[in-house]
Amino acid sequence: MEQEEATETAAETDEEIVLRSLFGDPIWFALGLSCVMAAAILSGIEARTRSVWWAVAALLFVTMLRLACMATFQRRRRLGIGHAARRWIRIYTVSSTTQVFAMSCWTLVVFWSSRSPVAELLSFGVCVGYLIGIQGRNFANTTVVRIQLAVAAPPIILALVLKEELAYGALCFFFSFLVASILRTSAKMNAMFFSTLAAVRKSRMLAETDPMTGLPNRSAMSDIVARSIASGGEPFALHFIDIDRFKHINDSLGHAAGDRLLSEVGARLVAEFKDEAVISRFAGDEFLILQRFAASAAGANAFAQRVLKALAQPVHLHGLSVVVDCCVGTALFPRDAADAASLTQRADTALLHAKRDGPGQHRMFSTQMATMEAERLAIETDLRTALERGDVTLAFQPIFDPCGERVLACEALARWNDPQRGAISPAKFLPVAEEAGLMNLVTDYTFALACRTAADWPDDVILAVNLSPGQLLRADLVQMIERVCAAANFPLTRLEIEITEDTLVPYEGRSLESLRRLKEQGIRLSLDDFGTGYSNLGRIVDLPIDKVKIDRSFVSAIESDARARALLDGAIRFIASLGLDIVVEGVETLGQLSYLQKQPNVWAIQGFIFGYPLPAEGIAELLDRVDAYARPEGGSAFLFGGAVASPQGS
């Protein structure tokens, strides 16, 4: 409870704090004033004079007004005081001062017109006790204390002096000393309170502010979102922002450059959106923005596009002009969620989908996303079990020489046949494994299975295995491959690792170093899906690769489009000039095959024209049949010998 009160206090202005102190504890306030009224009535009974009863009546009237004022404030406070704090402080000052003045005048009248010691004791004792108590209620505002003492002390001192007795004179001296003591004590309490308040505010600022950007941090932003939802239900949008390739910048230019980038991103967001949104650094390279009054998806989308544009301008880091892309995911309140945690999670879900679309993308949350994420979570959970049970298997697609007479290599392709869902596409479960941190397990498992299978193939057949971007950066990649190949008695020289252009782009320097280490072990390297990535032709020159696999997009139209043939011919000539082997993928028709067979630089063909992906038993049988047809007595053309694999093996 104390921590909650401290948190609340730190969030208030000084005027709001003073007001909360002045009007605090309404129950005890009412009990105290009730005692004052009871003492006044008893003094009237004891004094039996009309003047005292008039003073009592005036005091009772003022006291009732004071109670009504307190009740009105408490009722208004529940509805929100807003900007009326200063007005309520003035009301309190006037009402409390009037109360104290009425009490001191009551004491003066009792001492002047009554001879009752009981009435005198009641009036003087209640006044002194009340004055001592004002420093406890009014310590946050010493001005109120000084005003009340200024109007209360003269009538009471006059009442004591009018008695013209030594005892009353001594009492007057001690009362004056008491007033001075109250002034001093209240000043010390006020200084101590505001010193503590400053420390609490500083502590809260450190706890809820990101020191690098000066923006609210995750804890503060979560509170802001929760308060926005609880404050009355005004619609707003929550935008989750992630900086693309931030880790690459940190690793390549250093953490100081990364910190500089985060500060620049925060400054740009504040400069552009501070008047219409609350901006926070949520975690790492993620920012969270609360866009106020976003009543429609169109408005939220326009805001997100402005965010992308604001952050797309180059940032100068260590003398380099770095272009920073980001992705944005958006969720709307109250459309997408009714509480802060769910709304934030759904904005994060939209961000994940935006990142999967590529750099510089924005996605709005939809219920379909929630369904997809639930399915991805289920796939992640079941994939762990599938690896343990051996439900993940491999299919192998043969790669033939252009004449279809020899199998030069076989590409290993992961397959998962789930008992409940049936066959699950690698395009669905491999990205989930990558995001969930399961790719080490998947890679180790598939490499071991592939090497054990390929160990029984003919010695001249290469095993081609794909490697994901994250796996290429594994510190133990070479050791893992050596361990697996040794366990399967499979030579490293028969292993070929396929990478794509997109694999190299995010972490080019580290990727090239990994490729060189693999090359040093005698492992063959192949660039897969050439022509579909972000890189240019000149990049191939720097890669330590042995082979390039031209993507099927170069082949699909060569039978009918002269420009497609010219493009394919140009790619083949360029790659051949570098001394690299060439494999053409996606060959499915005899017309495509016939055209490629006329190309002297094409080393191999991969496609359904020669064979579909086959399970381990099927590929072993295919290799045996090819070997039999390759013998002099078996014929010279495997393709036309009727051994093309059936699609049922895919």
Query: Exposure pattern of 88-98 as b/e (b: 16+ CB <10 Å)?
Result: bbebbbebbbb
By the 8 A CB rule, do 317 and 329 touch? Answer: no
Q: What is the pLDDT of residues 566-596, one digit of tens each?
A: 999 999 999 999 999 999 999 999 999 999 9
By the 8 A CB rule, do 127 and 177 touch? Answer: no
Q: Smallest Cα–Cα separation from 333: which of 235, 221, 227?
A: 235
Cα 363 to Cα 297, 349, 488, 548: the distances in Å are 11, 9, 46, 35
In DSSP notation, 312-351 reads TS-EEETTEEE---EEEEEEEETTT-SSHHHHHHHHHHHH
Average pLDDT over the chain, rounded to whole?
Answer: 86
The pLDDT of 450-474, averaged and rounded, is: 92
Residue 501 clears pLDDT 80, i.e. is over it: no
CA 149/CA 137 separation, integer angstroms: 14
CA 292/CA 280 separation, integer angstroms: 14
The label of the residue with tokens 């690792």 reads 497
Residue 167 clears pLDDT 90, i.e. is over it: no
Nearest 10 degrees: CA dihedral of 525, 530, 535, 537?
Answer: 90
CA 485/CA 454 separation, integer angstroms: 10
In degrees and rounded to multiples of 5, residue 646 shows phi and psi of -85, 150
Say how many C-beta atoms besides its own lie within 10 A of residue 307's C-beta: 24
By the 8 A CB rule, do 324 and 336 touch? Answer: no
For 397, the 3-state DSSP assignment is strand
pLDDT at 645: 41
CA 140/CA 144 separation, integer angstroms: 9
For 234, the 3-state DSSP assignment is coil
More confident residue, 537 or 373: 373
Rounded to whole angstroms, the maximal C-alpha distance in the chain is 145
Q: Residues 301, 219, 18, CA angle at the centre, nearest 5°?
A: 110
Q: What is the pLDDT of residues 338-368, one digit of tens each?
A: 899 999 999 999 999 999 888 889 999 998 8
Residue 320 clears pLDDT 50, i.e. is over it: yes
The pLDDT of 244-258, averaged and rounded, is: 80
Query: Exposure pattern of 547-561 as b/e (b: 16+ CB <10 Å)?
Result: bbbbbbbbbbebeee
First vs last Cα of the chain: how many Å apart?
65
Q: Smallest Cα–Cα separation from 143: which of 199, 183, 188?
A: 183
pLDDT at 203: 73
CA 611/CA 174 separation, integer angstroms: 111
Q: Smallest Cα–Cα separation from 501: which of 515, 491, 487, 483?
A: 515
Domains of the chain: 2-208 (no CATH), 218-365 (3.30.70.270), 387-640 (3.20.20.450)
Collect all residues with Cβ–Cβ distance below 8 Å to 470 and sequence separation of at least 6.
Answer: 434, 439
Q: What is the pLDDT of residues 507-519, one digit of tens each?
A: 556 778 888 899 9
Q: Smallest Cα–Cα separation from 593: which of 407, 399, 409, 403?
A: 403
The pLDDT of 500-525, averaged and rounded, is: 78
pLDDT band at 81, cuts 50/70/90? Answer: low
E-strand stretches of 324-466: 326-333, 362-364, 392-400, 407-418, 422-424, 462-466
pLDDT at 186: 86
The sheet with strand 236-243 has its strands ordered as 277-283, 286-292, 236-243, 326-333, 362-364
Residue 637 clears pLDDT 80, i.e. is over it: no
What percent of the chain lies above the pLDDT cut of 90?
A: 41
For 82, the 3-state DSSP assignment is coil
| 75: its two tokens | 């009722």
Provide the H-helix boundaries in 455-507.
469-472, 477-488, 501-504
pLDDT at 2: 34
pLDDT at 564: 93
pLDDT at 562: 93
More confident residue, 561 or 648: 561
